[in-house]
Amino acid sequence: MSVEGLAGRTVLVTGGTRGIGRVLCEALAAHGARVAFTGRDPAAIADTEAALRARGPEPVALPLDLEAVDDAAPIAALLREHIGRLDALVLNAAIGGVRTPIVEQPEAEWRRLFQVNVHASRVLLAAAHPLLAASDAGRVVCVSTGVARRRKAGTGAYAVSKAAFDMMAGLYALDVAGTAIRCNIVNPGPTRTAMRAAAFPAEDPLTLKPPEALLPLLLGLCAPHCVLNGETIDADDWLAQRS
**List of residues contacting ligand NAP (CB under 6 A):** 15-21, 38-41, 44, 64-67, 92-95, 116, 143, 145, 188, 190-191, 193-196
Q: What share of the chain is helix, strand, coil (3-state, %, to 5)?
A: 50, 15, 35
- Whether 158 sits among the annotated catalytic residues: the reply is yes
Q: Mutual orientation of helices 235-242 and 215-222 as an angle, nearest 10°?
A: 100
Q: Which of 9, 117, 140, 158 is catalytic?
A: 158
Residues 6+ apart with CB under 8 A from 149: 163, 166, 232
Q: Which is nearer to ligand NAP, 206 or 227 (CB)?
A: 206
Nearest-CA neighbor of 185 among 235, 115, 125?
235
Residues 6+ apart with CB under 8 A from 94: 15, 116, 117, 143, 158, 162, 165, 195
Q: Which is nearer to ligand NAP, 39 or 224 (CB)?
A: 39
Q: Which is nearer to ligand NAP, 85 or 152 (CB)?
A: 152
Contact call for residues 72 and 127 (beta carbons, < 8 A): yes
Q: Which is nearer to ligand NAP, 17 or 229 (CB)?
A: 17
- Give the nearest distance from C-beta 12 to ligand NAP in angstroms: 13
Q: Which is nearer to ligand NAP, 93 or 140 (CB)?
A: 93
How far apart CA 210 and CA 230 sit, in angstroms, is: 26
Which residue is at the shortest CB distance from ligand NAP? 19
- Give the nearest distance from C-beta 15 to ligand NAP in angstroms: 3
| Residue 89 host element (H or E) | strand 88-91
Going by the DSSP 8-state scheme, the letter that residue 209 receives in this structure is: B
Contact call for residues 24 and 100 (beta carbons, < 8 A): no
- Give the nearest distance from C-beta 200 to ligand NAP in angstroms: 9
- Give the nearest distance from C-beta 140 to ligand NAP in angstroms: 14
**Burial group, residue 57, by CB count within 10 angstroms (0-12, 13-18, 19+):** middle
Catalytic residues: 158
